[in-house]
Amino acid sequence: SQTIHQWPATLVQPVGSPLSLECTVEGTSNPNLYWYRQAAGRGLQLLFYSVGIGQISSEVPQNLSASRPQDRQFILSSKKLLLSDSGFYLCAWGRRVDEQFFGPGTRLTVL
Amino acid sequence: GENVEQHPSTLSVQEGDSAVIKCTYSDSASNYFPWYKQELGKRPQLIIDIRSNVGEKKDQRIAVTLNKTAKHFSLHITETQPEDSAVYFCAITGGSYIPTFGRGTSLIVHP
């Protein structure tokens, strides 16, 4: 069966510090991968999606970036965090365009 | 791009009552309509879905109806229970890799 992991589960970072969130999927190959941000417990904002290694599409221009160094690994990064980057970050995967299986999420607080 | 409006944003009901959440969309190419439930602090999880060639689908106390002509679909929960309290998201998917989510409905079931 397929499993999706995210870490860390919780993160508190100062403004201006870098960020690296990791997502990995097990039990499948060549999945579509997605990064979402959810602020204030509502609304899923799609940040990035990837249909293959090295292929990243950005939905919202901001100080975040994503990379897919391996087939089942998706990384969300920032060089300098802003207060507005606080939120619940969700990674998701799917085999088809209409599938979305979400990871457990990372709660990021920027102080 | 695709657009989906979800109403109401908050719904408060008494235990045992029914709850209905409605989503409207604009892209006639949309062909897959899932509903997700997100409990506090948890990941969104698929609870029911419907495809464009079906008008209604039921799974125990939950059902989804689709009106393709009017471009709206609804989630129906009967005999609500306190554990139904959560945020519910509708979504649509058409021909792209990018699912579009509604803004969410916070359902509160009072015992």
pLDDT for B95: 65
**Which residues in chain B are contacts of A51 at CB distance < 8 A?**
97
Residue A98 near chain B (CB below 8 Å) = yes
Q: Which of A64-73, B47-56, B91-100 has the lowest mean pLDDT?
A: B91-100
Which is more confident, B77 or A45?
A: B77
Q: Distances from the Cα of B2 to the Cαs of A95, B27, B30, in angstroms? A: 21, 6, 8
CA atoms within 13 A on the CB side of A17: 12
What value does the mean pLDDT take over residues A14-34? 96
Average pLDDT in chain B:
93
Range 12-41 of A in CB contact (< 8 A) with B: 32, 41
Chain A interface, best mutation among B43, B51, B87, by max A CB count within 10 A: B43
pLDDT for B53: 86
Which is more confident, A98 or A32?
A: A32
Residue in this structure with the two tokens 């209905």, named with its chain if needed: B20
Single out the residue of A39, A94, A36 nearest to residue A66, CA to CA.
Answer: A36
Distance in angstroms (rounded) separating the CA atoms of residues B9 and A66: 31
**pLDDT tens, position by position, A63-103:** 999 999 999 999 999 999 999 999 999 999 999 878 899 99
Distance in angstroms (rounded) separating the CA atoms of residues A39 and A20: 18
pLDDT level of residue B28 (50, 70, 90 thresholds): confident
Dihedral, B56, B7, B31, B61 alpha carbons, nearest 10: -30
